[in-house]
Structure 1
Amino acid sequence: MASTTKTVTIHDRCCVAQPHSGEVAAEQSLPLTFFDMLWLHFHPIKRLLFYPSSCSASNFLETVVPSLKQSLSVALINYLPIAGNLIYPLESGMPEIRYVSGDSVSLTIAEASEDFDFNYLTGNQAREANEFYPFVPELPEPKIEPESGFRIIPLIAIQITLFPGTGICIGFTNHHVIGDASSIVGFIKAWSKVAKVGGQNDFLVKNDLIPIYDRSLIKDPSGHRANIFWNQMKLYPYGSPVSSFPNNKLRSTFILQKDEIQILKNLVLERKPGFVRLSSFTVITAYVWSCLVKSAKKSGENVDENEPEYFGFAVDARRRLEPPLPAAYFGNCLGFVVVESTHGILSGKDGFFIAAELVGDIISTKVNNNEELFREADEWLVKYGPLLTKRVMGVAGSPRFDMYDTDFGWGKPKKYEAVSIDGDGSMSLSKSGEFEGGLEIGLSLPVKKMDAFADIFYDGLKI
């Protein structure tokens, strides 16, 4: 934390399970597909939603918290695997996700001291990254069961924090193996909808919001990708990924409004009129990537001009499989693509246009070509794993994700923060909560690099 005077008081640590009833769900086991297996050793994913609220401490503890607990319990009726665990073999066997009766979600109820400034945390300006961690829940520690031969690893934790008289923050931490962003965001929104309508499960059923878990829907063309990935993963001892405090980092949000995105598209089309479909994703990621590369010199980094620069992103593969998966499929279903250039090229005056061409080409040749997207799937770990130690930028989120329609009954959030980007060099990307058609870009960078990036980003837009 940035200051020793800032504290968070923990009022309660509890576990929330599905409601007790005569029809208690039996054990539910989900094998890991090759899409899931990729994320066994990935760091936890951390998200925060901040809501303005004049709620008092007494109203929070006596009314808001019981309502959220009850609605979470109801939402779990359809999301039992989230309350379950990753069952990780100590010796032999394959990992799987397993729910047994009584499994639950870890929930922390907290209150921030008045030293925390809700408006500061929910702004777009550069803010100290450490300030956000008191509101991020930690996953419960894994348990080793020697008699069963498994390590039992919890999959999600939630924290609800009151800023008395100013706001409420709901924080989520999940193991990536349980599901990709599409799945976890779906769960968060399902919970919010149940909370808003008063804890009625039939609302999800009537509105066709029930997740689908059938792993047999994923057809593995080679028939052994899950085994290939598991054989590679089990060479490394399981270590519960820990996020260290980014003591020298700032978090900033950069907004591109609809007309600014169109200007970037027009600039690219003037230089590269051959683009058939130039997406907002292409120009935004290309612009951020090139600005980030250019900020190296200005922030004091000494990077050789021939040093490779990589940009990689995940692709929702549900509709790209054969046959396509239903949109409600819950789990991981992501393909991967990476483009490469050099530091000297991207930091030059045409860096943005070159980056846009690289991103546009990979989307055209691989993302929109199902056969090409999965052609090298067996080698994803071997090919892309080593890039994590290189100069690489990734993307957390998507222009399709709208976290600002997540309404628990208090209206839309004031701010969404993807805290995980503190540790993996990614930019976050989501729909803007302020501007129709606009997009939010989140970055977490060392102080000097953030200052340099911001100058280059805004100067480029002026030009």
Structure 2
Amino acid sequence: MKVTRSEPVLVHPAGDAAATVAEEYYFLSNLDQNVSVPMKTVHVFTSSSDNAASLMRESLSRVLPSYYPFQGALAVRPDGRLAVRNDRRGVPFVEAAADGELREVTDGDVSAPGAAEALANLVYTVRTGGEDATEEASSLLTVQVTTFKCGGLVLGLAMNHCLADGQSAAEFLRSWAEVARGVPLSTSPFLDRSLQSARPVPTISFPHDEFAEIDDVSGLAGVFGGDVPFVYRSFTFDASKLERLKKAASEDAAASTTTTTCSTFVALTAFVWVVRTRALRMRPEQRSKLLFAVDGRRRVEPPLPRGFWGNAVIFACCISDAGDLLGRPLSAAARSIQDAIARTDDAFIRSAIDYIERNRGARPSLTATTLVTAWNRLGLDTADFGWGQAVHSGPAELPQKEVVMILGGDRDSQSKVLVMGLPLSCVQVFEEM
């Protein structure tokens, strides 16, 4: 599929009031600073209007006053903190046309052969560094609208994660779509992130194993070495498979009874943690770590305001010796995950923010780690620009080697899709499981 792009146009907020922003720097919390990486997504619409690109560009201009940090750039403040410099450079907007079929990007399987390359052409990015680099390389949001001959349209976004987690990204999309339809914003963004500032005297009250370094006693560095073939696969769990999995994750194997209810997310995450640990052939004494995001919006006291815009997720963590993890029933792993979710309360979240304050630049260690990210619960596909909701919304690139993505299946089904990569030597074990 060939995609022909126009030259990017910089979109600025409409209206005189939006042109003047009082503060030089927009504050980023410690949770924002820990994820300053691009988040590339595609949103597929089977139909659109003849002037769709113009409508989306004009409505972007009208929604930007509410989301003005998008037109700034990342910078380091004099005190050494990462922030957004409000230099009003604008948001690059690109119109494009594809000569392929929309069905090539509608199934959402980013792991299919050639899919990642095709999706990359639908998201506008600028190379960083080198002679061809421009100021747009540090843009916090870029937009590409690609039309297809069949009348379909793909909206491709590259959004810096430091400005929005998945829920905030979905809120921005819905706000943009509401402006395009000419209706008031159903949720106005709350932009003050100082609510998530570290305390005046940072206090670490809990162990934060999410940042703990783990010794590689299983030779995993060699398994993931540069010369080892690495392949991606997707696995679909339909409703009946999910019910079987939830039952297994809820059972007390010794008593053959159900001990507790178990959500789909917990069951899938427990299963992935166990099976990936087995597939990587971790030694029994190897510490195996699981990381997953917990939304803290309603878990802090007081809860964050409605429409809070930023990163409000905390990494919950489970660690187990591989031998114990693989020797116990699936329900044991599920209980560990449920306990980690329950621990993520106001006190723990404040402690995590203070930990990052005390350990500036700290990142979760990923040795012997499985990181599960659930895209299916974000609501990215609910924006309606006037021609209906997206038939597919999801990532435009393959996950990193430690990451397992949970995606929604067909819109009208209850199925879930796992997308992940493994060294070729480990794939067969995972597929059999």
Superposed pair shares fold, TM > 0.5: yes
Is 1:14 matched with 2:1?
no
Q: 1:435 to 1:307 in 2, by over 3 A?
A: farther
Q: CA deviation at 1:408?
A: 2.4
- Conserved 8 A contact 1:84-1:103: yes
Q: 1:103 to 1:453 in 2, by over 3 A?
A: same
Indicate which of 93, 96, 105 corresponds to 2:91.
105
**SS state at 1:203 partner:** coil
**SS state at 1:340 partner:** strand
RMSD: 3.5
1:81 corresponds in structure 2 to: 69
Q: CA deviation at 1:98?
A: 3.3
**SS state at 1:79 partner:** helix
1:18-417 residue pairs with structure 2 within 5 A?
Answer: 18-19=13-14, 21-29=15-23, 30-39=26-35, 42-53=36-47, 63-89=51-77, 93-100=80-87, 102-114=88-100, 118-123=102-107, 126-128=111-113, 129-139=116-126, 141=128, 153-165=138-150, 167-195=152-180, 197=181, 200=182, 203-204=184-185, 207=186, 209-218=187-196, 220-224=198-202, 252-271=233-252, 276=260, 278-296=262-280, 303-347=282-326, 350=328, 352-364=330-342, 366-367=343-344, 369-379=345-355, 385=363, 387-388=365-366, 390-397=367-374, 400-417=377-394
Q: 1:290 to 1:87 in 2, by over 3 A?
A: same
Q: Aligned partner of 1:282: which letter?
A: V
Q: CA deviation at 1:13?
A: 1.4
Q: Aligned partner of 2:66: which letter?
A: N
Q: 1:383 to 1:309 in 2, by over 3 A?
A: farther
How many residue pairs match? The answer is 395
Of 183-192 and 402-411, deviating more is: 402-411
CA distance in 2, matches of 1:47, 1:264: 29
**SS state at 1:97 partner:** strand
Q: 1:176 to 1:124 in 2, by over 3 A?
A: closer
Q: 1:306 to 1:221 in 2, by over 3 A?
A: same
CA distance in 2, matches of 1:445, 1:70: 43
CA distance in 2, matches of 1:165, 1:213: 39
Q: 1:283 to 1:50 in 2, by over 3 A?
A: same
CA distance in 2, matches of 1:383, 1:279: 34
CA distance in 2, matches of 1:275, 1:295: 28
Q: CA deviation at 1:329?
A: 0.9
1:360-402, Cα deviation, whole Å (9 max, x unpaired): 22123x12x33244445433568973622x1212133455322
Task: Give me the TM-score of the superposition, normalised by structure 2.
Answer: 0.78
Q: Aligned partner of 1:76: which letter?
A: L
CA distance in 1, matches of 2:161, 2:124: 15
Q: Aligned partner of 1:26: which letter?
A: T
- Conserved 8 A contact 1:136-1:159: yes
CA distance in 1, matches of 2:21, 2:127: 21
Of 258-267 and 155-164, deviating more is: 258-267
CA distance in 1, matches of 2:416, 2:383: 16
- Conserved 8 A contact 2:252-2:259: no
Q: CA deviation at 1:287?
A: 1.7
Q: 1:397 to 1:222 in 2, by over 3 A?
A: farther
Q: 1:294 to 1:224 in 2, by over 3 A?
A: closer
**SS state at 1:106 partner:** strand
1:429 corresponds in structure 2 to: 406
Q: 1:191 to 1:430 in 2, by over 3 A?
A: farther
- Conserved 8 A contact 2:112-2:233: yes
Q: 1:51 to 1:255 in 2, by over 3 A?
A: farther
Q: 1:376 to 1:34 in 2, by over 3 A?
A: closer
Q: CA deviation at 1:282?
A: 0.9
Q: 1:31 to 1:43 in 2, by over 3 A?
A: closer
CA distance in 1, matches of 2:34, 2:284: 32
Q: CA deviation at 1:412?
A: 2.7
Q: Aligned partner of 1:16: which letter?
A: V
Q: Aligned partner of 2:270: which letter?
A: A
